[in-house]
Structure 1
Amino acid sequence: MKIATWNVNSLKVRLPQVLDWLALQQADVLCLQETKLEDKVFPLAEIEAAGYRAAFVGQKTYNGVAILARRERGEIEAVERGIAGFADEQQRVISATIGGVRIVCAYVPNGQSVDSDKYQYKLRWLAALRDWLAAELEKYPQLALLGDYNIAPEDRDVHDPAAWQDQVLCSAPERAAFRGLLDLGLTDAYRLFEQPEKSYSWWDYRMMGFRRNQGLRIDHILLSAPLAARCTACVIDKEPRRLERPSDHAPVMATLDAA
């Protein structure tokens, strides 16, 4: 089973790239963030024509998340939107069960800057996510949390740690929140394997960030213990970032052996 995450930074713009990528990679599940589409204009017909089902929740211009699942994997079941118990107008979380695996697709707030109200909202949001996931893991032992976390967990996930020290995406409270998720019993799938140095999943559009590999690893797949035991690979696919008019993020994909 191949499960993947990709912040597409506008599904309207990136839909052809998403469909091409699915055809090439044959992913069973793809979690999308920043779809930036209201539900009434979500491209369900095109996705279904490509052999996938979809569960989604969105809003105009900002945020929006979706789970795409290959039809052969069966129905998308028990769909839930948002973080239970956390009132939030922003559409950032959708979860569903596919092939016996609980998939949680999350778009963590960016936080803007460490001295902003948006940063405090990010920390509250992450705390709510952790509390909710603790209960979800009791209900769903086979759980995967995929998405754009807007957190680079360690200095090796940052092209210039000194420049990013104490900045949003790399601050100590954000990294502590990431570790709090790991403390629930989740494992960073990417770090289960030997990986190339200077591996990132996001590069700024400005200053030739991608060409110079000045990036951050902020897109992650966290797996519960039963799924981590089944994980045989996890990669960042940089090829879509080389395309014309790309998202600033690259897809991350993990492969799970059959249960």
Structure 2
Amino acid sequence: MRIASYNINGITSRLAVLLRWLGEFTPDVVALQELKTTDDRFPEAELAAAGYTSLWHGQKSWNGVAILSRVGAPVETRRGLPGDPDDSHSRYLEAAVSGILVGCLYLPNGNPWPGPKFDYKLAWLDRLHAHAQGLLDSGVPALLIGDYNVIPTDLDVYKPERWIKDALFAPEAKAKFAKLVACGWTDAIRTLHPEERIYTFWPYWRDAFARNSGIRIDHALLSPALAPRLQAAGVDRTPRGWDKTSDHAPMWVEVKI
């Protein structure tokens, strides 16, 4: 089963891009981030016509996550990350699909760093860690996939010196991501491609995509119950080269079911 993550950067304005990609790449399950639309404007009918059943958690102008499936309707298990009842951001959605628990997440950007937004990012990472530990303790085959807004290491960025002052590359954020993985999660891309420079995001400016001046911030973490089933992982760079596209490319994993 192929499970992909795609920060679509506005599902309303980039619906044609998404539908084209779904038709060409045919993933079985998709975790979407940055919907940037309210629940009532989510394109459920268009995605259904493409063969996908949808769950979504929208927010006007910002954030928003969704899970799509063409291998059975996703069964929602959680909406919103626990740990802060006052957090109104639509950044986490979790569902069971074909025997796998899929957590779709859009972690806060955190810029400018330092500041309140970065503090919120670190607190969100702590909450994610606590919830992820609960998933590990349960023993279920789980996948935490999405836009983590964290560049884990120098290998995951074209020129590290250009990101030194960015919250995505901040030592505190990298340390919390590393701590999360060390608890028992498997970073699919880095596990299967330990030395390869693989990117998932290229800024719109300075011909970044053409020069492959990118960063890896979209990740898939597999629980110990799911990791032995990992078959392949990669990034589909193709839609990043299309017109009016997202600045992210979809990353994907294949697991045996």
Same fold per TM (> 0.5)? yes
Question: For residues 39 and 28 of structure 1, what CA distance do their matches in structure 2 show?
Answer: 23
Question: For residues 129 and 137 of structure 2, what CA distance do their matches in structure 1 show?
Answer: 13
> More displaced, 239-248 or 176-185?
176-185
Tell me what 1:78 maps to: 76
In the TM superposition, what is the alpha-carbon distance from 1:166 to its structure 2 partner? 4.9
Deviations 1:82-117 (A, max 9, x none): 012323111000000001100000000000122121
2:12 aligned counterpart, secondary structure:
helix
1:59 aligned counterpart, secondary structure:
coil
Alignment of 1:177-256 (within 5 A): 177-194=176-193, 197-256=196-255
Alignment of 1:99-248 (within 5 A): 99-139=98-138, 141-194=140-193, 197-248=196-247
Amino acid at match of 2:56: F
Deviations 1:147-174 (A, max 9, x none): 0000010100011112223531111111
In the TM superposition, what is the alpha-carbon distance from 1:142 to its structure 2 partner? 0.3
In the TM superposition, what is the alpha-carbon distance from 1:208 to its structure 2 partner? 1.3
Contact map agreement 1:102 1:140 (CA 8 A) in 2: no
Question: For residues 155 and 226 of structure 2, what CA distance do their matches in structure 1 show?
Answer: 25
In the TM superposition, what is the alpha-carbon distance from 1:207 to its structure 2 partner? 1.4
Question: For residues 195 and 61 of structure 1, what CA distance do their matches in structure 2 show?
Answer: 37
1:216 aligned counterpart, secondary structure:
coil
Tell me the matched-pair count.
256
TM-score, normalised via structure 2 length: 0.96
Question: For residues 248 and 237 of structure 2, what CA distance do their matches in structure 1 show?
Answer: 9
Tell me what 1:12 maps to: 12
Contact map agreement 1:58 1:91 (CA 8 A) in 2: yes
In the TM superposition, what is the alpha-carbon distance from 1:198 to its structure 2 partner? 3.2
> More displaced, 55-64 or 193-202?
193-202
RMSD between superposed Cα atoms in Å: 1.4
In the TM superposition, what is the alpha-carbon distance from 1:215 to its structure 2 partner? 0.9
Question: For residues 12 and 34 of structure 2, what CA distance do their matches in structure 1 show?
Answer: 10
Question: For residues 78 and 204 of structure 1, what CA distance do their matches in structure 2 show?
Answer: 33
Question: For residues 197 and 140 of structure 1, what CA distance do their matches in structure 2 show?
Answer: 31
Contact map agreement 1:166 1:172 (CA 8 A) in 2: no
Contact map agreement 2:54 2:73 (CA 8 A) in 1: no
Amino acid at match of 2:34: E
Question: For residues 73 and 243 of structure 2, what CA distance do their matches in structure 1 show?
Answer: 34
Q: Which 5+ residue runs of structure 2 have no aligned equivalent?
A: none
In the TM superposition, what is the alpha-carbon distance from 1:196 to its structure 2 partner? 7.4
Question: For residues 27 and 237 of structure 2, what CA distance do their matches in structure 1 show?
Answer: 16
TM-score, normalised via structure 1 length: 0.95
Tell me what 1:63 maps to: 63
Contact map agreement 2:35 2:65 (CA 8 A) in 1: yes
